[in-house]
Amino acid sequence: MVLLEMIVMGLAAGTIYGVMALSFVLIYRVGKIVNIAVGDMVLLGAYLIFAFSGLGLVEDPVINLILGLILASIFGLVIAVGTERFLMRPLYGQSILSLIMMTVALGMILRGATIVKWGTVLRVFPGQHEVFPPIPFTIGPIEIPYVYLWSITGAFLIFGSFLYLFRKTLFGFAMRAVSLDPEAAATHGISIKKIYTYTWMIAYVAAFLAGLVLGAINGITVIVSYLGLARALPAALIGGLDSPGGAMLGGLLLGLIEHTVGTFLNAYIPGIRAIIPYIVLLVVLIVKPYGLFGTVRIERV
């Protein structure tokens, strides 16, 4: 029963790793940018949700928090436009390295901005104890913390709507077309810059959702940003860097292993739980260099 509970916990935690990996993978897939700032986007999201729900626009704490998430996401869209327009666009056509360095800079700026605005004191969401009660939620014999219910629902919503967008709509085809051959896409009236902007928007919203969950679990401090990067990166790599579906499965796998193998081993080797993701990553990359679901390029001669 303990094992079953651990599996459920692992999968639940995995959903949020998957959402962060999705944010990372999207930017990589469409813009070929390795987004080191993903953790800081998560952190910014946590603080923005904290700030917006702190306004106390609605009585009910749950709706208040959801409203905070929505307002923060709208704010995130604006930041996404700014990120694309002023940080990334001047660098298109430059080397991959300068783009990566720019995301490092973006991360520093975002993290620095949160410290300037909110300081380094640990914060919690308004109404944290009502929204995420300390007593776990029970389904039959299994007990899981409330926050994971949020993570599962949120991940399901964002991932479902994204997959629909990506696979079934003209917008999704255009997005994939840009990721495969920007020049050819442009000749069909697809504006590359707009597609890049939309991609950043989705990435920000996904990261903000992760910010809500990680902020609720750990409290809102700068740690969230390190945690975000440290989980998003291996999940994305395990899934194969350019596959959104793989990102989610990578996240689930990571959460699962962390909460089962990691927890077991932690009794014998204290602290190993933190590096389990990287051991998994190592094994996966050795066996399948493209990751589990990464694209192996079709090459015709």
Interaction of residue 183 with another protein, rule CB under 8 A: yes
Task: Answer for the pair 258, 273: CB distance below 8 angstroms, yes or no.
Answer: yes
The contact mask relative to another protein for 237-276 (x = CB under 8 A, - = no) is ----------------------------------------
Interaction of residue 2 with another protein, rule CB under 8 A: no
Q: Is 298 helix (H, G, I), strand (E, B) or coil?
A: coil
- Out of 71, 91, 142, 177, the only residue in the binding site for another protein (CB under 8 A) is 177
Task: Answer for the pair 191, 168: CB distance below 8 angstroms, yes or no.
Answer: no
**Which strand (E) or helix (H) includes residue 138?**
strand 137-139
Alpha-carbon radius of gyration of the chain:
19
**Which strand (E) or helix (H) includes residue 144?**
strand 142-144
The window from 71-79, 131-139, 176-184, 244-252 that contacts another protein (CB under 8 A) reads: 176-184
**Closer to another protein at the Cβ: 48 or 192?**
192
One-letter identity of residue 53: S
- Give ∠ CA 255-244-183 in degrees, rounded to 5: 150
Interaction of residue 118 with another protein, rule CB under 8 A: no
Interaction of residue 295 with another protein, rule CB under 8 A: yes
* Biggest distance spanned by C-alpha atoms of the chain: 65
The window from 44-52, 95-103, 175-183, 219-227 that contacts another protein (CB under 8 A) reads: 175-183
- Out of 54, 127, 136, 182, the only residue in the binding site for another protein (CB under 8 A) is 182
**CA separation for the pair 175, 179 (Å, rounded):** 6
Contacts of 290 (CB under 8 A, 6+ apart): 240, 241, 296
**Closer to another protein at the Cβ: 38 or 192?**
192
Interaction of residue 109 with another protein, rule CB under 8 A: no
Task: Answer for the pair 26, 196: CB distance below 8 angstroms, yes or no.
Answer: no
Report in angstroms how near the CB of residue 92 gets to another protein at its nearest: 9
**Closer to another protein at the Cβ: 85 or 176?**
176
Closest CA to 68 of 124, 117, 24, 16: 124
The contact mask relative to another protein for 185-224 (x = CB under 8 A, - = no) is xxxxxxxx--------------------------------
The window from 2-10, 117-125, 272-280, 292-300 that contacts another protein (CB under 8 A) reads: 292-300
Which residues in this chain contact another protein in the complex, by CB under 8 A?
93, 170-171, 173-174, 176-177, 180-192, 295, 297-298, 300
